[in-house]
Amino acid sequence: MEVVLAGAGHTHIEIIRQAEKFREMGHRLTIVSPLKHHPYSGMAPGMLGGTYSYDDILLPAYSLAEAGGAAFIQDAVAGINTRTSVIRLVHGGAISYDIASVNIGSDAAEDHVQGDHIFTVKPIERLFEAKTYISNLASSRSPFRVVVAGGGPAGVEVAGNVSHLITSLRNSGMPARGRVSLYASSSSSIGGYRGRAGAYILKTLKQMGVAVHQGERFTLSVHGKSDAADAVLLASGVRPAGVISTLGLPVGKTGSITVNKYLQVTGEQAVFAVGDCAEFSVGKTASLDRVGVYAVRQQQVLLHNLLMKVSGNSDQLIPFRKYGPYLSGLNLGGGIGLLQWKGFLLTGRKAFLIKDFIDRRFIRRYSVSEGLGGQDD
Ligand SMILES: Cc1cc2nc3c(=O)[nH]c(=O)nc-3n(C[C@H](O)[C@H](O)[C@H](O)COP(=O)(O)OP(=O)(O)OC[C@H]3O[C@@H](n4cnc5c(N)ncnc54)[C@H](O)[C@@H]3O)c2cc1C
């Protein structure tokens, strides 16, 4: 059978790691992804702040596919015709499937705003471009201002890490005369937290020199015009990936692809959808938080169900049940973190080290011993 994975996100990366299983059973696994290496968002703020290099945070989708005997097509999915079982690719080609799965993530809410100095936090590659841009500003003697718009988890992580980046560049001898401002429209929460956790985030950001404007919005025109900032990082949330509306699959209340408890697209036996791009069609957990944690929790369910489908055991699919609470964490920059599990809060260096351990272990799980193969064009 032909099994096609659209996107190499947090769920599919595990299927790709297990590609050999499909080959051993006589099936062909093909991955369609615009990038040969998928940047891991959990470590992206740390990459921006200089704790990790860009290579450190890459999940080697192409190399894993190659090692497991799977085919890799560097392209993006434009449409899925479930009647003819054909996937249309952005660059013109098409590919047939017997079983398909979609894991294409979400887009930044403001990705329509344009400007050379404007960077959305998604796709994660943009944060690497932001780091290079801010490092260039730091090499000049002129003062500059970086604005982070959005006071959710990504916004506070980005603000703390940009501030740490500027401080590190200054310590290494660059003029780095930069200031960082964070605009958070909510005045009652920061970084998605209230109470003690929220107070800790505010205190830490202020100590790092970030000017926090709570209850204030930073607005840009669609052309990205603003005299007030030399670099703008837009972190005001994510929305379903724009391409979802053109895929031809059913979408739900949040604009994501609707799936049943087996992760099958509503009304389709042969197409699955997972991660940020999927929402459950029924139940109070219909739309889960758009966090990588859920995409990772779906890995084993998807793997099992794909293997059951290809071996003709459609009656043995297992449901996704891990809706429950998850350990949430922030890297605030400079080796400072925050972890929260239900009511328990851990802050400071220890919290950072635990998050760092979890993130590095995740990356290590997908490392290919002979190194990253294939360059992204
Ligand atoms: C700065 C930041 C930090 C975050 N930190 C955390 C954290 O610490 N913990 C956590 O749980 N969550 C975190 N998140 C949220 C997390 O990034 C998402 O929830 C997670 O990436 C969702 O995983 P996914 O596999 O659904 O999608 P993604 O990880 O976005 O993967 C989707 C993949 O699909 C590819 N793709 C896109 N379009 C197409 C197409 N048309 N065809 C084929 N491929 C396509 C993309 O290139 C990408 O490789 C963070 C988000 C941000 C922005």
Report the C-alpha gap between 33 and 58 in whole angstroms: 14
The angle formed by the CA atoms of residues 46, 50 and 51, to the nearest 5 degrees, is 55
Residue-range domain boundaries for the chain: 2-34+75-105+241-324, 108-237
Distance 12 CA to ligand 1 centre (A): 11
Ligand 1 atom 14: residue of nearest CA: 291
Alpha-carbon distance of 4 to 19, in angstroms, equals 11
Could you tell me the distance, in angstroms and rounded to a whole number, from the CA of residue 104 to the centre of ligand 1? 8
Please report, rounded to a whole number, the percentage of residues in the chain having pLDDT higher than 90: 84
Ligand 1 centroid, distance to 18 Cα (angstroms):
20
Q: Does domain 2-34+75-105+241-324 have CATH number 3.40.190.10?
A: no
Tell me the Ramachandran region of residue 254: left when phi exceeds 0, alpha when psi lies from -120 to 50, beta otherwise.
Answer: alpha
State the pLDDT confidence band at 323, using cuts at 50, 70 and 90: confident
- Condensed to tens digits (0 to 9), the pLDDT of residues 201-255 reads 999 999 999 999 999 988 776 555 566 799 999 998 888 888 999 999 999 988 9
Torsion of CA 61, 94, 123, 42, to 10 degrees: -30
pLDDT value of residue 370: 46
Q: Rounded distance, CA 376 to CA 128, Å? A: 14
Read off the pLDDT of residues 260-277 as tens digits, 9 standing for 90 and up: 999 999 999 999 999 999
Q: Which fold has domain 108-237?
A: FAD/NAD(P)-binding domain (3.50.50)
Residue matched to tokens 């003062």: 143
Q: What pLDDT does residue 227 have?
A: 60
Pairing of strands 344-348, 336-341: antiparallel
> What pLDDT score was predicted for residue 286?
65
- Is residue 283's pLDDT more than 80? no
Lowest mean pLDDT among 64-68, 97-101, 342-346, 349-353: 342-346
344 C-alpha vs ligand 1 centroid, how far in Å? 27
Residue minimizing CA distance to atom 31 of ligand 1:
9
Model pLDDT, residue 25: 97
* 333-360 mean pLDDT: 97
Ligand 1 site-directed mutation target among 41, 131, 339, most atoms within 8 Å of CB: 41
Is-contact 335 168, C-beta < 8 A?
no
For the cut 70, the answer to whether the pLDDT of residue 133 exceeds it is yes
**Does the beta carbon of 9 sit less than 6 angstroms from any atom of ligand 1?**
yes
Average model confidence (pLDDT) across the chain: 93
Q: How far is CA 47 from the centre of its chain?
A: 13
* Secondary structure (3-state) at 158: helix
> Maximum Cα–Cα distance for the chain, whole Å?
67
> Dihedral, CA atoms, 72, 127, 276, 205, nearest 10 degrees?
150
From the CA of 40, give the closest atom in ligand 1.
29
pLDDT at 371: 46
Two structure tokens written together for 279: 């929402």
Mean pLDDT value of segment 45-55? 97
Least confident of 106-110, 162-166, 327-331: 106-110
DSSP letters, 13-27, are HHHHHTHHHHHHTT-
Q: Find the mean pLDDT for residues 166-181.
A: 97
Specify the residue with its C-alpha closest to ligand 1, atom 53.
121
Q: In what order do the strands lie in the sheet with 86-89?
A: 77-81, 86-89, 94-96
Q: What span, in angstroms and rounded, lies between the C-alpha atoms of 333 and 52? A: 11
| Count of Cβ atoms closer than 10 Å to residue 137 Cβ | 22
pLDDT in tens, 89-116: 999 999 999 999 999 999 888 766 778 8
State pLDDT tens for residues 285-316: 667 888 999 999 999 999 999 999 999 999 99
Q: Determine if ligand 1 sits within 6 Å of the CB of residue 257.
A: no
Residue 282: per-residue pLDDT:
75
pLDDT of residue 224: 57
Separation of CA 293 from chain center: 10
Task: Please state, in angstroms and rounded to a whole number, the distance separating the CA atoms of residues 76 and 31.
Answer: 10
Mutation probe of ligand 1 site: the residue of 64, 104, 128 with most atoms within 8 A of C-beta = 104
Domains 2-34+75-105+241-324 and 108-237 are alike in CATH topology: yes
pLDDT of residue 279 exceeding 80: yes
Q: What is the pLDDT of residue 373?
A: 47
Residue 240: predicted pLDDT: 87
Residue environment code for 245-273, b if the CB has 16+ CB neighbours within 10 A, otherwise e: eebebebbebbbbbbbbbbbbbebebbbb
SS (H, E, C) 284-317: CCCCCCCCHHHHHHCHHHHHHHHHHHHCCCHHHC
